[in-house]
Homo-oligomer: A and B are copies of this chain.
C-alpha cells in the first residue's frame, strides 16, 4: 500500500504538505506539480479509514431496512442516494431481516465505523434503543414512526390516504368492504387500519370483516382466502406483499372482489380483478429523508422535523 509518506519521500516534501495539498489548502504552484507527479507515478490513493479516524467523519451514510428484497425500500434508497451523492456522501445499505436486535447490532456496528448518519426504516418501535445504538449520530426515520418523537422522519399520510381510498370505493357503489390488516406493531399498519375504521364509521359501512396478517404474500393469500368466505364487494389490503397474495387468492377462487391496496403492483394491468391502489411517492420520500439528514448533520441541535407526505 502506497501511503502519504511515500508521496512525501518521492516528492521531497513533508507529509503535512502533501496532506494539505490533498485537502485543497494552498500549496506553492511548483510543489503542487511535484506532488501531482509523485501521486501519479506512485498511484497513490488516500486511505479513507485513516482519514476518518482523524477527522471523525467518514462521509458515509448508512441505510438500514428490514429487508433488501423489497421494492419499496430499494426504490426509496435509490432516491436517497441520488441526493446524497451530490454532497459527496457514499451510501451503504444493510438489512436487519426484520429483527429488532439485529437492527440494534447493525446500527452499533455502523456507528463504530463512524458513519455520519442513518436513514432508518425501523423494525420495532423502541426509539430509545435506536438512539442508544446510534449514539450521537443523526437518524432519520422513513415510512414508520417509533414510540418517541426523537428523530426526524418522513412518512406518508397513511390514515387519510386509506380513508380517501375507501371513499372512492364507496363512490363506486361498493359498500361491503373487508380488510386485511397488517401487524399492529408496525406504524403504517396501524395508521391504515385507523383510516379504514374511520371510513367505516363515516360512511356507515356494515358487513365488514377484518383478518390480521403479516406483511407477506403468503399471509395476504391466507387472509384473502378467509375473507372470500364472506359476502364482500371489496377488500382493503394493508401493503404490497399482502396484495400480491390476496390477488393470487382471488384469482384462484375465481371470485369477484375489488381489491384496494397500497402501491401499484407489477403487471397491474394484466390483473383480472379490479384493483384500486394508492401510489406512494417513493422518490419524494427518499429525497426528503436525505435532505433532513443533511440538515441535521449540519445542525445537530435543530428541532425535529416530521414530514407527512400527502399521497
Contacts and interface: CB of A to CB of B under 8 A. Distances in A.
Interface string A240-272: 000010011001100000000000011101111
A285 B114 CA distance: 32
Given A48-B113, A49-B114, A266-B265, A75 B71 contact: no
Nearest to A133: B45
Nearest to A81: B95
Contact of A67 (B46, B48, B78, B109): B78
Interface residues of A, number: 48
Contacts of A271: 267, 270
A49 B47 contact: no
Interface of A: 45-50, 52-53, 58, 60, 62, 67-71, 74-75, 77-78, 81, 90-95, 97, 106, 108-109, 111-114, 217, 244, 247-248, 251-252, 265-267, 269-272
Given A53-B53, A67-B78, 5 more contacts: A45-B111, A50-B53, A68-B78, A217-B266, A267-B267
Closest 6 CB pairs of A and B: A251-B270, A92-B92, A69-B74, A68-B74, A93-B93, A48-B112
